[in-house]
Structure 1
Amino acid sequence: MIEVKDLHKSFGDVEVLKGITTTFDKGKTNLIIGQSGSGKTVFLKCLLGLFNYEQGSICYDGKVFTDLTEDAKRNLRSEIGMVFQGSALFDSMTIAENVMFPLRMFTKQSKTEMQDRVDFVLKRVNLDDAHNKMPSEASGGMQKRVAIARAIVNKPKYLFCDEPNSGLDPKTSIVIDNLIKEITEEYQITTVINSHDMNSVMEIGEKIVFLKDGFKEWEGSKDTIFRTDNEAVTNFVYSSNLFKKVRQMYLEERQ
């Protein structure tokens, strides 16, 4: 579990995060959503320890990040997996070498142990025969699955995903959503996803935090978001006619 209390972050005179308090539960897919400029990317980077903040706290399973020693912070970072928006694979490395990279950085495993682990996670994301391919030989969906394999190779407690469906077609996006959800539940990871994809929200949004102008405007689940009367949420989520119809059907079924 990750607990956030009264988080404030500014750049110069501009306050970007304005007292956010929330929790992200273990074994669940937790989504951060909001319009451009809402603060969701800055929030994610604070959670990752990439940005310092002026006020508040972020607590990882009882450990307050700012109270940790540098060694303890390094240990915590070794427990974090990250799926970047553009996959961020190393072009000069094979897929297997990309996946092995965190093991080389954070562990003292033997080469055989690392190879066994790489074999396991590539199989888990249905890329059994992709070891020797280069990233340039892989489709966008394959690259994203490689990124997920790399993110979980070190058995993380926390998984962060920045727009994991960016640039993917709708069918592949569903595959990636389901894979992230399955892995989250299977390994009981605390997963936090920064997303603008409303299909993801409706498919896997077990906990949704909606930011607006640096504030936490609303939080709930994919079920309660159908019932909310919060105008900012409904304007954002149901901006398309499709989602308006889906919401109306949902409400009519429960009358």
Structure 2
Amino acid sequence: MIKVNDLHKSFSGEEILKGIDTEFIQGKTNLIIGQSGAGKTVFLKCLLGLILPTDGTIEYDGKAYSTLNKEQQRELRKKMGMVFQGSALFDSMSVAENVMFPLKMFTKQRKEQRMERVREVLDRVDLLKVDNKFPSEISGGMQKRVAIARAIVNKPQYLFCDEPNSGLDPKTAILIDNLIHEITKENNITTVINTHDMNSVLEIGENIVFLKDGRLEWQGDKSIIYKTDNESLTSFVYSSDLFQKVRKAQLQGL
């Protein structure tokens, strides 16, 4: 679990995050949603430890990041996996080499051990057959699965995903959503996903954090997001093409 307590972040006197209190639950897919400029990216970077908050604390299973020394912070980062928006694969490395990279960075395993783990996670994302190919030789959906394999190769306790469906067609995006959800359940990971994709919200939104102007505006799950009386969330949800289709189907079924 990740617990956020009165989190503030300012840049050059401008407050971006304005006192966020929330929790991200272990074993669930936790989604951060909101319009552009709501503070989602800054929030995610704070959760990753890439930037330090101006005030407030972030606790990882009861331990506040701000109280950790450099070595303890490094140990915590080893427990984090990250799926970047553009996959961020190394073009000069094969699929297998990309997935192995965190193992070489953070472990002292023998090459045979690393290869065994790489094969294990590539099998989990159904990519064993392309292990020797380079990123430019596989599809965007495959590249995203490689990024997921790389993110989980070190068996993280926390998995962070920044717009994992960016640039993917709807069918592939659903496959990626389901894969992340399945891996979260299988490994009891605390997964946090920064997204604007309402398909993701409806597919895997077990704990949804809605930000507006740097504040926590609403929190709940996918089963109640259409039933809320929060005007800001309603406006955000209703503006999506997906909602219009769902609402039309609901009306036709009446």
Q: TM-score range by the shorter chain?
A: over 0.9
The one-letter code matched in structure 2 to 1:109 is: Q
Pairwise CA distance, 1:34? 0.5
Q: 1:245 deviation in Å?
A: 5.2
Which amino acid letter does the alignment assign opposite residue 51 of structure 1?
I
User: How do 1:76-225 and structure 2 match up within 5 A?
Assistant: 76-225=76-225
* Counterparts of 2:69 and 2:107, CA distance in 1: 19
Paired residue total: 254
Contact kept in structure 2, 1:226 and 1:251, CA below 8 Å: no
Cα-to-partner distance string for 1:181-233 (whole Å, 9 max, x where unaligned): 00000000000000000000010000000000001111100011111011110
Distance in 1 of aligned mates of 2:229 and 2:134? 49
Asked if 2 retains the 8 angstrom alpha-carbon contact of 1:226 and 1:247, the reply is no
3-state SS in 2 of match to 1:229: coil
TM, length-normalised to structure 1? 0.96
For 1:145 and 1:193, the matched residues in 2 are separated by 15
In the TM superposition, residue 240 of structure 1 has moved relative to its aligned partner by: 3.4
Instruction: Supply the AA of the counterpart residue of 1:112.
Output: E
Instruction: For residue 116 of structure 2, give the secondary structure of its aligned residue in structure 1.
Output: helix
| Alpha-carbon distance, 1:237 to partner | 1.1
Instruction: Tell me, in whole angstroms, the C-alpha distance in 1 between the residues paired with 2:174 and 2:42.
Output: 26
SS of 1:203's partner is helix
Aligned CA RMSD, in angstroms, stands at: 1.6
- Is the Cα contact below 8 Å between 1:85 and 1:161 reproduced in 2? yes
SS of aligned partner of 1:22: strand
Task: Check conservation: 1:226, 1:250, Cα contact below 8 A.
Answer: no
Say if 2:237 is the partner of 1:237. yes
CA distance in structure 2 between the aligned counterparts of 1:212 and 1:111, rounded to whole angstroms? 47
- The whole-number CA distance in structure 2 between the counterparts of 1:50 and 1:240 is 31
> Aligned partners of 1:107 and 1:89: how far apart in 2?
20
Q: CA deviation at 1:13?
A: 1.4
Q: Distance in 2 between matches of 1:180 and 1:237?
A: 23
Q: Which moved more, 1:229-238 or 1:155-164?
A: 229-238
Deviations 1:134-181 (A, max 9, x none): 011011000000000000000000000000000000000000000000
User: TM-score, structure 2 length as denominator?
Assistant: 0.97
Structure 1 contact 161–194 (Cα < 8 Å) conserved: yes
